Amino acid sequence: MSMLIEDDPANRRFEILVDDALAGFTQYVPRDDVLIFTHTEVDPGFQNRGVGSALMRGTLDKVRAQGQRVVPRCPFMAAFIDRHPEYADLVTSLD
C-alpha cells in the first residue's frame, strides 16, 4: 500500500492518496503563516488502517518544512498532536 500526502491549495486541504485513490483529507483556512485546520475525513474504506495518522504526520511534516504553524481546531488533529508531542512546537494561537 503506497501513501502520498499532497497539499491542494485550490481546495484548501491536504489529501492522502492510497494506491492513487483519494483516501482522506484535512481542511484548512490559511492566515499569513498559519494554517487553521478545521476538519479531517478518512474514507470509511480506509479507516483503521493507519491512513488518518499517516495523513496527520505527512501534513504536519509539510507544514514544518514550509515554515508554517497550525491552529488545530479539528479534534482529530488536536488529539494526534497531543499523542505526538514532537509536533507540539507547530501549534500557535491567533491572538
Task: Establish if 95 belongs to a structural domain.
Answer: no
* Counted domains in the chain: 1
Torsion, Cα 7 50 18 91, to 10 degrees, reads: 0
pLDDT of residue 93: 92
pLDDT of amino acid 1: 83
Asked if the structure places residue 59 within a domain, the reply is yes
DSSP letters, 55-66, are HHHHHHHHHHHT
Q: Of all helices (H) and strands (E), which one includes residue 77?
A: helix 75-83
The answer to whether position 69 is within a domain reads: yes
Q: What is the pLDDT of residue 94?
A: 85
Is residue 27 assigned to a domain? yes
| pLDDT tens per residue across span 62-87 | 999 999 999 999 999 999 999 999 99
Backbone angles phi, psi at 47, to 5 degrees: -70, 155
CATH number for the domain spanning 76: value is: 3.40.630.30
- pLDDT, tens only, 20-56: 999 999 999 999 999 999 999 999 999 999 999 999 9
pTM value? 0.95
Per the structure, the complete domain to which residue 39 belongs is given by 3-90
